Structure 1
Amino acid sequence: MAIVSDVLMNVKKRNLNEPEFLQAVQEVLESLEPVIEMHPEYKDAGILERMVEPERQVIFRVPWVDDKGIVRVNRGFRVQFNSAIGPYKGGIRFHPSVYIGIIKFLGFEQIFKNSLTGLPIGGGKGGSDFDPKGKSDGEVMRFCQSFMTELYKYVGADVDVPAGDIGVGAREVGYMYGQFKRITGSYEGVLTGKGLSFGGSLVRTEATGYGLVYFVNEMIKAKGYELKDKKVVVSGSGNVAIYAVQKLQEFNAKVIAMSDSNGYIYDEKGINIATIKKLKEVERKRISEYVKEHPHAEYHEGHRGIWNIKCDIALPSATQNEIDENSARQLALNGCFAVGEGSNMPSTPEAIKVFQTNNILFAPAKAANAGGVATSALEMSQNSMRMSWTFEEVDFKLQEIMKNIYKNCIKAANDYGFGDNLAVGANIAGFLKVADAMYKQGVV
């Protein structure tokens, strides 16, 4: 379709050397051709042209002093992509790989993910090339304070509400929130993922991992499967992976492998998640330490090898493009029947084609890992009402949100002739709500 190809061509010209962003845009736009054909008013209103251009991009210097008294300088980012259905909402990532293209890709994905939750939140993302690994608490605090000293100008409870992401957990959110409050004197829900003692929500820590499992469970139930006794491989060992494993074990699935950026562990008896939580959340050590406490387990260098393990279900929950075409083929050869994306865009386009060609059930990230931002929005609601809900209340709302996301994705795919293709269904369902809001608000 000419309009889609023209928009894509323009995006490629204007965003050179940003492959992650271009990949995300192309994947979404190509699935929207039948939608634009059925809604010519969106073409006339320039919806696609406006949707691929962020409303605002902020890049700033973050100076801080390390424990040796040496001045360090990092770069900070915030991309406020789309506010058609609510204030910008999206995490902050601290990782050496962060640059504007990564933040734009994540922010663009966030538009559709947030729309799918059914909650009034727009799309945004932020971060820095700062690496918290190996830094002392004091260094992390000084960096976070410097980061927020600039970021505070652009965020607020009704404007932009950041959360955590890779490298940004409860510690980092706490330091940033404290600095925001110090500068503004305002005690508001400007960040989510806060500590429970100052406005945080129960289940927020577990939400992305739990939501991933709830979504995958809905997907496989529709095809007559259940999680019980299934062998599962989960990449990563951060927040998403840990709580996905915890919830899988509650469903009596058997998780046999996890990884970090150095390598992966294989435990045929089933991963001891208590050991992983201790290593990663308390001691902040590498996953290789697991075999010291569980000598029957195996550790292998190189994280990609995890996809060679024979499993029923794979949940990539580490980082973008971690499953390439070869890894996908290996999963198919080993009998994997379902893949659920826990991290953002962990499967390359070629890998997704392999899944679809081999009839592997595929849960795309913008739907499957939406539980985190959904619970962040629930935290915003609690902050606005000055209330705290119980764990059971929030968990129930999360389960219902993930069930509704699945139903809406399937319905959108069916309505536009894509059968049960959840990847396309997620794009269309997320797009329709935002496009309708943009159209009715005029050219802004």
Structure 2
Amino acid sequence: MGESLKNLVTDYLLKTGMSEATAAYFNLFLLLSALLVIVAILDIVIWKVLRIFSVRLARRSKTNFDNYLVAHKVPRYLARILPLMLLLRFVPLIFSEFPTWQGLMEKFLQICVVVLTLVIVKSILKSTNDHLKSTTRYRDKPIDSYIQVFVIFVWLMGLLTIFAIITDTTVWKFFTALGAASAVILLIFKDSIMGFVASIQVSINDMVRIGDWITFQKYGADGDVIEITLATVKVQNFDMTITTIPTYALISDSFKNWRGMETSGGRRIKRSIAICQKSIRFLKEEDVEKLRKIQLITPYLETREKQIEEFNKKHQFNREIPINGRNMTNFGVFREYTTQYLKNHPGVNQKMTLMVRQLSPTPQGIPLEIYAFSADKRWVNYENVMSDIFDHLLAAIPYFDLKIFEYPTTYSGIPHVEQVEVE
């Protein structure tokens, strides 16, 4: 039917006295113009139908996937499939009298089909990526890495198909050539392959998620993971700078992930106070009586004093020298006071490890370490809780006749200013 219509137009032009060459070109122009008009109208009609259908589907659908499809113009690209097929069907017929142009147009339209297919697949993959990121289950997974792998594979297949169309060969011949040049390909895509493998291992082993706080000293990263792609991991540091880390570095190097702390019941407090060794001594009776006024350790002092007295009487120690038998020290009582203070502090998680321990003596004194967990894991509140604890303990140390170790300085305290009477 198309051939008859084309000949009918050509015959009519020849009857008007037009030469065959002119009639052929004029016939080509008329048929091509009519085809383009029909294709344009068909494209508009199909797009409007698909748009109405997609809007109704989006209103009835319970998921957001169709919204992402519309946002990435998937229905618009799908509307161009039928018009492009129409061009592919009739353009060779229109250019039948021009073999050179016919071959070029066929190749051009075939390439357009491949490119349109690539664009549609890429848009669907992007829509899938955005939809998965909006779900709770996949929000913190490295979906970008897998999508990028699929995109690279699709574009590679598309480029091979385009080269096959241009050179009039089959795709399998290109695959054979790629097999021979596999070493070069592996060298070119080394980072992408390593990143893909690393992404799989990171996902399977659940090493890093988007939103995790990680510390990577080698790359100067200390902040939240905001993106995991095929080649890089982006970390937004707490000073709002962005650090880019190779994905494969997550499995080849050591880094710290703070997710365990964030999902636990508290954030660890581990800090010590250096006590001057010369200030540690045995407590006398008058010292014990004085310390009884501190309510947190009053029960402890009473119980401890009875236990020590019974033990010393049982073994008949000479109590003229405090070193004989058992005795309390100001350092030990302060350690108990610190423990009781932490147990009564509202900012400390009482369900997690709580310990006040004495570390090995050092040239800088004897460290008294606080090992506990704050109930509030937020950074600012955590620092406030820790500062509040040590503010109190540093101020409480003199009540136990202890001193904090400090290097000798020329500072002798606040100078006394004498008041001068004004006449």
TM-score of the pair, normalised by structure 1: 0.23
Bigger proportion of residues as helix: 2
Q: Which has the larger radius of gyration?
A: 2
Between the two structures, name the one with larger relative contact order (CA 8 Å, sep ≥ 6): 1
